[in-house]
Structure 1
């Protein structure tokens, strides 16, 4: 009976002869013979991820004739990643599903993180089949594993990354857009941008922008602007979406109207927007109102309806409805004086701020510090006994 070592040696020698330019095969044999499992894992991981080393089905064969011989000696999370990369090269999705399903029978060896990783990878392959049954299985994985993923400790973000990739892909297919938006943002939190292919960045930036603009309950655009993802839209047909995101973040009604006119043809090709035009217009009006409140010092937040109408470009008779809508969405808290046509705003929903907005905050803090100093000087001059302890 041929030993595993002999089989491995014969396979790697044959591959090295077939592909002499791929010197990694010879190095693999050296590391395997020396039982240097960590270094071998690094080399195999790098090899399977590099598209330049792909020759037909050589990487599928690498698993079948080599990796399977020592997979138990690998770091199991790294093994799960290697296996997933190889499955992406399978000719049929069903073959990838079968291989991962078989591997998941070894959960005792895999451990929690590698198991979750492979279950999420399996979910992604199932979503690609467009089968309702497979989609339901992927949904079950998302529901069952969310708590486990959120409870993971450590610095490795590999498992959360693939989990949120799965969940955001699922919600992109079935909706609602706000669920996709939330989990796609979490994917960005856990995923280094350089690890995402350029084409996927472009698609993700487009989808995130559309979800932010059309999704219910999304009024904090700074979360996306704080990531580099929108740079993927630069110099592309969807560059206007990046501008639209910044317009919404600033609550710029006039800028919104300009973009709608300038890019009418491109916008007409986006059913996510055209199907919710009235909602999108309502959202930009609410954001314009929120920005107006933000611009006001905390002690000057009694805002006249006429000023709100001017800022939002709404008829005066629609302002009260807009304010009540903002309150119902918990974007602001305050009291409406219908007689005086004024709203006293006591609270504004926190948002992620850009540099310009942060500079405004710094300016207000400086003003507040100056007023406190003036008050202190006044008290020292007029009522020094109050400052004695």
Structure 2
């Protein structure tokens, strides 16, 4: 049944918020026509609008109007609207209580329940309640593994909050891994330019600071990383590109070019030795990549030349690569040879994909030649 009080409230809000009056007018008209599906999206867009947010009416709007539609609109979208409105609470504990009180209303929708838990976890994180936050996220992650057909927005929100949690804890590798998952589940057009910028900066720095992050191409291949170009953080974009080439000369030239930028970051200065080790390990991995699979016995002198190390330091670099799980093999200390049996798969940049394609084509030719010889021998 259509309520005249709600119609009057929407008219009043239209007068008080002229910048969103057309949205409110559309909502009112669709409310009169019981167009619940259309209203759902309109309500989400309205409560996401910064102009309407400034008025301080979000919570009242939810309690006086949205909550009355709980049986008429999609449960997940209902919770997303509630989360939008909850940001207006000055007291985060009150926001948590507000959201927790909605659990019963979405008991029949697992997706809505999980989204609600993640949203509460995010607010726990804002309060510095790390254990409570992580317990909720771990619970949601476990439940998602047992579910099918859950809207990807739930995964997006989960990995975003996990990434933010690990960033707070300064666990760069976990932050980077979950950040990649967040970006995979989140269409780029749903992020504001500022959000794209912030994620790229933080994930780019995580690559430089994380001790065991070597899948750099996975971030570099994402279009949103280009949001750093022509900004104060273009230096970070250039350093990441240079690091990904595994070319030590190019990387060191880039570091010299942006020395002032690097020195202005206490974290990067503190981790400079680790960064130097990272480019050397990447150069070692690149050396292996360019070798044929049956030709991966590498002598110490060759590795030393490629990685700009003394021969006596090669063994330590190889052992470090092995301890990180990047390569497997054996080290012959007597003959000073590294025999590589396996390399950890990782996403390749476009130039290396071309090399891999050429290798496969060559391998295909070799197989055909072998088959021809076998056929001739059997005749």
SS at match of 1:340: coil
Offset of residue 75 of structure 1: 0.5
Greater shift after overlay, 196-205 or 355-364? 196-205
Tell me, in whole angstroms, the C-alpha distance in 2 between the residues paired with 1:17 and 1:233.
40
SS at match of 1:15: helix
Partners of 1:149 and 1:163 within 8 A in 2: no
Tell me, in whole angstroms, the C-alpha distance in 2 between the residues paired with 1:198 and 1:150.
32
Tell me, in whole angstroms, the C-alpha distance in 2 between the residues paired with 1:151 and 1:265.
50
Give the alignment partner of residue 205 of structure 1, picking from 178, 200, 207.
200
Tell me which residue corresponds to 2:105. Answer: 106
Can you give the 5+ residue segments of structure 1 that lack an aligned partner in the other structure? none
Tell me, in whole angstroms, the C-alpha distance in 1 between the residues paired with 2:291 and 2:68.
68
Offset of residue 95 of structure 1: 4.0
Offset of residue 356 of structure 1: 0.7
Tell me, in whole angstroms, the C-alpha distance in 1 between the residues paired with 2:358 and 2:377.
32
Tell me, in whole angstroms, the C-alpha distance in 2 between the residues paired with 1:233 and 1:151.
38
Tell me which residue corresponds to 2:231. Answer: 236
Count of residues in Structure 1 that have an aligned counterpart in Structure 2 = 378
1:71 is the counterpart of 2:70: yes
Offset of residue 122 of structure 1: 1.8
Tell me, in whole angstroms, the C-alpha distance in 2 between the residues paired with 1:19 and 1:320.
69
Tell me, in whole angstroms, the C-alpha distance in 2 between the residues paired with 1:326 and 1:4.
68
Partners of 2:111 and 2:151 within 8 A in 1: no
Offset of residue 34 of structure 1: 2.5
1:278 is the counterpart of 2:248: no
SS at match of 2:351: helix
Tell me, in whole angstroms, the C-alpha distance in 1 between the residues paired with 2:195 and 2:233.
14
Instruction: Say if 1:232 and 1:334 are closer, same or farther in 2 by CA, change over 3 A.
Output: same
Tell me which residue corresponds to 2:14. Answer: 16
Can you give the 5+ residue segments of structure 2 that lack an aligned partner in the other structure? none
Tell me which residue corresponds to 1:85. Answer: 84
Offset of residue 278 of structure 1: 2.0
Tell me, in whole angstroms, the C-alpha distance in 1 between the residues paired with 2:279 and 2:17.
59
Offset of residue 312 of structure 1: 0.4
Tell me, in whole angstroms, the C-alpha distance in 1 between the residues paired with 2:37 and 2:232.
45
* CA RMSD of superposed structures (Å): 2.3
Instruction: Say if 1:240 and 1:68 are closer, same or farther in 2 by CA, change over 3 A.
Output: same
Partners of 1:4 and 1:69 within 8 A in 2: no
SS at match of 2:274: helix
Partners of 2:70 and 2:105 within 8 A in 1: no
Deviations 1:304-331 (A, max 9, x none): 2111111100111111221222223222
Partners of 1:334 and 1:343 within 8 A in 2: yes
Offset of residue 112 of structure 1: 1.7
Give the alignment partner of residue 145 of structure 2, picking from 134, 146, 150.
150
Tell me which residue corresponds to 1:43. Answer: 42
Structure 2-normalised TM-score?
0.92
Offset of residue 70 of structure 1: 1.3
Tell me which residue corresponds to 2:189. Answer: 194
Tell me, in whole angstroms, the C-alpha distance in 2 between the residues paired with 1:172 and 1:325.
25
Partners of 1:16 and 1:25 within 8 A in 2: yes
Deviations 1:352-377 (A, max 9, x none): 01111011011112222333344445
Instruction: Say if 1:62 and 1:376 are closer, same or farther in 2 by CA, change over 3 A.
Output: same
1:138 is the counterpart of 2:133: yes
Greater shift after overlay, 78-87 or 362-371? 362-371
Offset of residue 157 of structure 1: 0.5
Greater shift after overlay, 341-350 or 305-314? 341-350
